[in-house]
Amino acid sequence: MTTMSAAFLSDQAERLRASVVGIASGGRGRPAGGAAIAWTGDLFVTSAHVVTGSHATIVTPDGRAVPGDVVRRDAERDIAVVHAPGAGVPPVATANPATLRAGSLVFAVGHPFGVRDAVSVGVLQAVSPLPRGYGLNGKGSFVWIQADVRLAPGNSGGPLADAQGRVIGVAAMVVSGVALAVPVPDVERLLAGLT
């Protein structure tokens, strides 16, 4: 192997941070409560529990507050789509997490405890239903991206990406210390017909 670069994931992180926005329920002027991902055009993907109403305001990386509407929501799967016309945020590249093996490098971008666009790095544990014994009120039978990466409140709705910076899922929660994210195919299903 060639010498490990000191740059590590910084290029990929910089590129991804440009596509992550802050988001809060309701009209303009509210502080960012969670994160959202510029998916395509003016569509943003986030966690359903971050946008509880029918309107949401996104805050772009350059600090503009742009009002939007929640156009799709799957509360059970905990993902939602927000349409914010004129936001002009570059969209992310995506990849199916099923192509990654356990141990592959992953990283998250979000706003843990309000820190804007914080990066945390770890590895993939599994893309599967949760192991029996990891309780999640019946939602354990969904396929989850399970990762050894640090998430905190404020990471919700933000991206989990592979070593090439491609988004593989939407950060949702932490169960038994394990970071859980909704896999890209489930996001694509929710987006069907919109793009």
Residues 160 and 107: beta-carbon distance below 8 Å: yes
Q: Contact at 8 Å (CB) between 55 and 29? A: no
Residues that bind another protein (CB under 8 A): 1-5, 7-9, 11-12, 100-105, 122-126, 128, 131-134, 146, 148, 162-164, 176-178
CA-to-CA distance for 8 and 55, rounded, in angstroms? 38
Q: Taking the complex as a whole, how short is the minimal distance between the CB of residue 115 and another protein, in angstroms?
A: 21
Closest to another protein by CB, 47 or 146 = 146
Residue 28 CB, nearest approach to another protein (Å):
37
Nearer to another protein, 138 or 177 (CB): 177
User: Smallest gap, in angstroms, from Cβ of residue 52 to another protein?
Assistant: 30
8 Å CB contact between 57 and 65 = yes
CB atoms near residue 166 (< 10 Å): 19
**Closer to another protein by Cβ: residue 68 or 97:** 97
Q: How far is the CB of 126 from another protein (least distance, A)?
A: 6
Spell out a b/e string for 128-155, using b for 16 or more CB atoms within 10 Å of the CB, else e.
eebeeeeeeeebbebbbbbbebebbebb
Residues 120 and 151: beta-carbon distance below 8 Å: yes
For residue 185, give the 3-state DSSP assignment. Answer: helix
Nearest-approach distance from CB 149 to another protein, in angstroms: 9
Q: Quick one: 67 or 122, whose CB is closer to another protein?
A: 122
Nearer to another protein, 68 or 183 (CB): 183
Query: Which of 11/54 has CB closer to another protein?
Result: 11
- Paired tokens of 112: 């843990």
**Measured from the CB of residue 134, what is the shortest distance to another protein in angstroms?**
7
Q: How many C-beta neighbours within 10 Å does residue 79 have? A: 25
